[in-house]
Structure 1
Amino acid sequence: MDEPRVPDEPPPARLPDLFTPHDLPPLGEVMADGCLVRDTPMGPPRAVAPGYGLPEDPADHIRQLQEVEALARFAEIRRVALVADLVEAAPVIEREERVPCGGDGTPWVPEFLAVEIGGALGMGEVRARLFVSDTLDLKWRHPRLWNRMVAGDIAPWQALMVARMCHALAWDGALRVDAATGDVLPGLAWARAKRLVEGEIAAADPVAAVERERARLNRRVVAVAVRPGTTAAMNVFGVLDTADAEALDETLGQMAAELGQSGDESDLDTRRARALGLLARGVLPAGRPVARIYLHVWAESTVARVEGHGPLPVDELPGFLSGCTVRMTRVIDQRESVPVDAYEVPESMREQLVVAQPVEVAPYGSVPARSSDMDHTVPYARGGSTEPDNLGPLGRRAHRARTHGGYRLTQPAPGLWLWRTPLGQAFEVTNRGTRRVVA
């Protein structure tokens, strides 16, 4: 078996002194009386005891919560770093051999090291081997992301998950994904981060991406199964191609609405289930339902983005759009936007905002902009204009928090939203994610 390829550049620097073992609180200090009674990385000594012994000021609760979260993250970073160090330092014992464990380009490890690590972490050999594999991939194939994790900018579990998603890529493909995403992922909600990484994986290996899409199409299925314990209902499960699934969803929605208008007082889910049964019997909705799929394609890109779904290789577009009516829309230049003298946001302006800010502008938000409210940063009733520089998408919950919950929002520059929470936290939000700032 060939020896593993080793990167030309040395691995990233080790953890800073902040994360050496003597800086982590001993077990006794953490557990004494259920309290943490030592300095934390974010402030002076405090007693943190869930449910009792806490001060009455809710803002102080938030500060302590931040401290506990930081300490937990630092401990997890240290755990990952120790495993990475152990891979380099662990000797080969007796007849043991070094074997591959991580992805392409990672060093081989002692054959039984995962058994030793599993015992230390309280996990079985299979799970421990997966943890070692993810750690190797992260450190040796994602140097930017590794350094951001070590700095505490991204949760270790997220960094390890990104490494796992890229495991099948060749070494240079993983480095390409890391170069495109390693400094961007911190500050993104995991749903956004995952979609971004999926797109870069497809771009790094378009041939494999096409093969994956075709394999998924070959796994389409619709099945009806007995529902245990009842004869009144059965389970229906299906995997359809995206266009068919969107059309079915739109049709069921329209038929459910028609049933409601005709006097059916069942909830929406029940009416949608009834609608599927009516479709099976040849009953069609009034008119032709229209399902809209938004597809974003950039010049010279090998990967398109299906809004709400994920990346799609450009080579697969003809099959994906087969049977669809396609309307092309040119790239929108927001400089052409002019304010309108009305509270309602025109469709063209809304589309500009969706393209510029694909998710809500709430801290760590993940609600798609297309299903969000377009919020006036300076309220219209107070003289705020209806233009992109005074608008931002907000999901319904975030919109209500801003309107009724005492959350303050300003837009000091186009595309930059500054939030201040009732308990003293502050965040900057852009289309690249969220950054905590000093209030």
Structure 2
Amino acid sequence: MIEVAAGPGASETDALTAAGLLASIRSARDVENQAAAEQLDLAARWADLHPPESTHSAATFAVPGCEHEEPIAGEGTPLVAEFCVAELGTVLGISTVAAKKLIGHALELRHRLPRLWDQVHAGRVPAWRARSVAETTIHTNPALTREAAGFVDAQVAAVAGRIGPAQLDRLVAETIKRYDLAVADPTADPEDGYLSVDPRHVTVHDDDVHFAGTMRIEAEVDLADALDFDRAVAHGAATQKALGSTESLDARRAKALGDLARTQTALDLLTSGDGFEARSARTSTTDADLPPAREMVIHAHFDATLSGDTTVFGPTGRMENGQRLVLLDQIQAWCGNTRTQVTVKPVIDLNTPLTAQGYDIPDRIREQVILRDRTCVFPDCTRPARGCDIDHVVPWDEDADAEGRPQPGPTTTSNLAALCRFHHRLKTHSPWRYAMVAPGVFEWTAPHGYRYRRDRHGTTELDPPDPPGIPRPRRR
């Protein structure tokens, strides 16, 4: 038997045997699963307290790859006040979209997948497995009726939730066919006419830029398209190697994907090697005659002294999107391509207050606010500021000038902030309030008294509100 030695000051856990450690790990997992199940129940009860008429319209959320919004859960689930999800998200330290998904999964399980819901609370199915099923049944196309969702629930519950994504997709497709939810094409094979689950999408995760200057792309495409794509990328990687590239296969495949997006080759080396004959598709047309393959507007901010932000890779700056590091060498490489059209924006001093006389926000002030805030300034929101509204923190008073009063909400950078459309509407139409306590530093107060500080470093929860009936001790 293997024993773990306990040093000076070691806890009882440190003295456990290997078997004891395994038992403790399993116990910790059970506690975690129980807590996740309880969180689902509490999220559903939070939704019960907030029907649409309590705050605003019914909550919806965007689905990757879709151009419209979807209900928070499937047919037969109760509607939820749109703005209540933001307060739940801030308490949990997650985004509003993640909070909407949590509530949606809880309602989907409780109302449309009750067998799976019971198994989660009995400890037989972990919450994450049940939530993956709920995510699928919510977004199925065509939408599952409550009866059809019940059929899926029965089949999944029969195997205690142990079903993989591929099996779940087949089950949903069979359910669509069984309940005649799709309109079959009369010219198509009747065996295929009902398989209308369409998981295809291409998602560029532009909110998660790696420190090395890379970005993740996720896609679900037709089988034939996937095979053609794989061949094209493999051919591009092989061509680069034949033309002299010494980069790894993964790096060459990644560059080949960029070439497909630009419809041009990345390397222009007229060399041949090991039996591979490189062919150049040169014509009388010169590069100067061709339209730019890539148009770039770069908003990267580098410290002139390069103090603090230096890495083993070289001088670094901050990408405007997501506050991620970017290498100066990468900027130079992006701009060095002769087929790249680069737009250089003028430098704006973020420490100089800018003011306009009217309500409308001039481009220069808008740009300064975008560069200062970087993202939506609501707690835990990561939407890039360039796609946000610019909000007057203290609202503009249209009657102030006519009545001879000072303007309480001037159009100046000390009274402007970047808010995405959802959180802009939340600030305008709900009890949420915020103030700018320093340039680019905001303090938010939620309807139930929770307070948060948001700055360029992220979100920090301030002193929590007093529990009901328990006054906070006074500080001497």
State the TM bucket, normalised to the shorter chain: 0.3 to 0.5
Q: Which structure shows the bigger proportion of residues in helix conformation?
A: 1
- Larger Cα-atom Rg: 2
> With CA pairs under 8 Å and 6+ residues apart, which has the higher RCO, 1 or 2?
1
Instruction: Tell me the TM-score normalized by structure 1.
Output: 0.38
